[in-house]
Structure 1
Amino acid sequence: MTNVTTPANSEAVKPEPVFDPPTGITAPPIDELLDKVSSKYALVIFAAKRARQINSYYQEQDEGVFEFVGPLVTPEPGEKPLSIALREIEAGLLDHEEGN
């Protein structure tokens, strides 16, 4: 007689995750970011404006012109301008004014 393993008598094997947990908008957490602004719409506009400034800073750096302020936090290798902007907002390094 052969031994047959069925789900009822086998040990449950947990599969290994195939991918890393997502990063980006989940880090920093959205709830912490919303404490810094009046609404999620204001957060989107605020972060997008700052991300454009950071992107322009990097482009101007190649040209030797410095109209915009660079990142206020130390960027991780390959980190996108929007992620940098969100980390600046979370750290309280930027002041948000309604309507701007």
Structure 2
Amino acid sequence: MSEKLEGIVSPAIDNLLNKVDSKYELVIFASKRARQINDYYSALHEGSLFNNVGPLVDATVDEKPLTIAMHEIDQNKLQKHATE
């Protein structure tokens, strides 16, 4: 059986941690983006998409917003901004 493992295995956690300063920053960064993706999908059902940005990577219906956010981080589709 050669199943393709998904979730935290893909993208690899080591690759994700190289893109941020700490694992805590990764959690916050990914969770904020996942909330934005979730808001996008909610707005999609309501018919108003003007305030929300959808997934920046190819995503299937089965993927959770957090998984999509992790793929966006891994593919350098997102940039973190320094907080003031």
Between the two proteins, what is the percent identity of the paired residues?
51
Distance in structure 1 (CA, Å) of the matches to 2:43 and 2:79 = 24
Partner residue in 2 for 1:77 = 61
The answer to whether the aligner puts 1:86 opposite 2:59 as a matched pair is no
Greater RCO structure (CA 8 Å; 6+ sep) = 2
RMSD: 1.9
Say which SS state the counterpart of residue 25 (structure 1) adopts: helix
Structure 1 residues not aligned, in runs of 5+: 1-16
Aligned residues: 83
Deviating above 6 A after TM superposition, structure 1's stretches of 4 or more consecutive aligned residues are none
* Deviation of 1:63 (Å): 1.1
Whether 1:59 and 2:35 are equivalent positions in the alignment is no
Query: Which residue pairs with 1:40 in the alignment?
Result: 23
- Report which of the two has the higher share of helix: 2
Distance (Å, rounded) in 2 between the aligned partners of 1:74 and 1:21: 17
Give the Cα–Cα distance (whole angstroms) in 1 for the partners of residues 41 and 54 of structure 2. 8
* TM-score (ref. length: structure 1): 0.74
Compare CA radii of gyration and give the structure with the larger one. Answer: 1
Following TM superposition, by how much is the alpha carbon of 1:65 offset from its aligned partner in structure 2, in angstroms?
A: 1.6
Unaligned runs of at least 5 residues, structure 2? none
SS of the residue 1:59 aligns to: helix
